[in-house]
Amino acid sequence: MSDQPSSPPAKRTGKRPAKPHRRPQKDPVRFLAFEALRAVDERDAYANLVLPPLLKKARAKGDFDERDAALATELVYGTLRRQGTYDAVVAACVDRPLREVDPPVLDVLALGAHQLLGTRIPTHAAVSASVELARVVLGEGRAKFVNAVLRKISKQDLDAWVEQVAPPYDDDAEAHLAVVHSHPRWIVSALWDALGGGRAGIEDLLEADNERPEVTLVARPGRSTADELLDAVGEDSGLPGRWSPYAVRLAEGGEPGAIAAVQEGRAGVQDEGSQLVAVALANAPVEGRDERWLDGCAGPGGKAAMLAGLAAGRGAALLASEKQPHRARLVERALAGNPGPYQVIAADGTRPPWLPGSFDRVLMDVPCSGLGALRRRPEARWRRRAEDLEGFAPLQRGLLREALSAVRVGGVVGYATCSPHLAETRVVVDDVLKGRGGHQPVEAEWIDARPLLPGVPALGDGPDVQLWPHLHGTDAMYLALLRRTA
Ligand X SMILES: C[S@@+](CC[C@H](N)C(=O)[O-])C[C@H]1O[C@@H](n2cnc3c(N)ncnc32)[C@H](O)[C@@H]1O
**Closer residue to ligand X in complex, CB, 37/330:** 330
Q: Does 365 bind ligand X (CB under 6 A)?
A: yes
Distances (CA, A) of 304 to 186, 295, 376, 437: 33, 6, 21, 31
**Closer residue to ligand X in complex, CB, 35/402:** 402
For the CB of residue 294, give the shortest distance to ligand X in the complex, in Å. Answer: 11
Reduced to 3 states (helix: H, G, I; strand: E, B; else coil), residue 393 is: helix
Check whether 414 is labelled as a binding-site residue. no
**Closer residue to ligand X in complex, CB, 178/297:** 297
Angle, nearest 10°, between helix axes 83-93 and 140-153? 100
Phi, psi of 344, rounded to the nearest 5 degrees: -115, 130
Distance of CA 405 to the CA centre of its chain: 32
Check whether 303 is labelled as a binding-site residue. yes
- Class of residue 361 by CB neighbours under 10 A (exposed 0-12, middle 13-18, buried 19+): buried
Q: Does 420 bind ligand X (CB under 6 A)?
A: no
Q: Classify strands 215-219 and 247-250 as parallel, antiparallel or unpaired.
A: antiparallel
For the CB of residue 395, give the shortest distance to ligand X in the complex, in Å. Answer: 6
Angstrom distance (rounded) from CA 302 to CA 333: 10
**Facing residues of 345 across strands?**
321
- DSSP letters spanning 216-239: EEEE-TTT--HHHHHHHH-TTTEE
Phi-psi region of 458 (alpha: psi -120 to 50; beta: other; left: phi over 0): left
H-assigned helices in 344-458: 380-383, 388-406, 426-434
For the CB of residue 60, give the shortest distance to ligand X in the complex, in Å. Answer: 32
Using alpha carbons, select from 352, 444, 347, 343 the residue that is nearest to residue 398. Answer: 352
For the CB of residue 339, give the shortest distance to ligand X in the complex, in Å. Answer: 19
Using alpha carbons, select from 206, 160, 214 the residue that is nearest to residue 371. Answer: 206
Check whether 349 is labelled as a binding-site residue. no
| 432 HSE (CA, 13 A, CB side) | 27
SS3 content of the chain, % helix, strand, coil (to 5): 50, 15, 40
Please identify which of the residues 418, 444, 471, 481 carries the catalytic annotation. Answer: 418
Asked whether 449 and 479 are in contact (CB, 8 A), the reply is: yes
Q: Is 93 a catalytic residue?
A: no
Q: Does 327 bind ligand X (CB under 6 A)?
A: yes
For the CB of residue 340, give the shortest distance to ligand X in the complex, in Å. Answer: 18
Among 24, 112, 222, 349, binds ligand X (CB under 6 A): 349
Check whether 301 is labelled as a binding-site residue. yes
**Closer residue to ligand X in complex, CB, 288/391:** 391
Q: Does 367 bind ligand X (CB under 6 A)?
A: yes
Check whether 297 is labelled as a binding-site residue. yes
Check whether 302 is labelled as a binding-site residue. yes
For the CB of residue 401, give the shortest distance to ligand X in the complex, in Å. Answer: 12
Q: Which of residues 159-188 bind ligand X (CB under 6 A)?
A: none
**Closer residue to ligand X in complex, CB, 301/469:** 301
Reduced to 3 states (helix: H, G, I; strand: E, B; else coil), residue 18 is: coil
One character per residue 238-277, x = contact with ligand X (rule: CB under 6 A): ------------------------------------x---
Check whether 273 is labelled as a binding-site residue. no
One character per residue 287-306, x = contact with ligand X (rule: CB under 6 A): ----------xxxxxxx---
- Which one of 135-143, 149-157, 342-350, 419-427 is the stretch in contact with ligand X (CB under 6 A)? 342-350
**Closer residue to ligand X in complex, CB, 78/241:** 241
Check whether 368 is labelled as a binding-site residue. no
Asked whether 418 and 469 are in contact (CB, 8 A), the reply is: no
**Closer residue to ligand X in complex, CB, 132/272:** 272
Q: Site size for ligand X, by CB under 6 A? A: 18
Among 266, 323, 384, 450, binds ligand X (CB under 6 A): 323
Q: Does 223 bind ligand X (CB under 6 A)?
A: no
Q: Does 324 bind ligand X (CB under 6 A)?
A: yes
Using alpha carbons, select from 230, 410, 218, 229 the residue that is nearest to residue 309. Answer: 218
Q: Does 473 bind ligand X (CB under 6 A)?
A: no
Positions at the binding site: 297-303, 322, 348, 365
Positions at the binding site for S-adenosyl-L-methionine: 297-303, 322, 348, 365
Residues that bind ligand X (CB under 6 A): 274, 297-303, 322-324, 327, 348-350, 365, 367, 418
Catalytic residues: 418
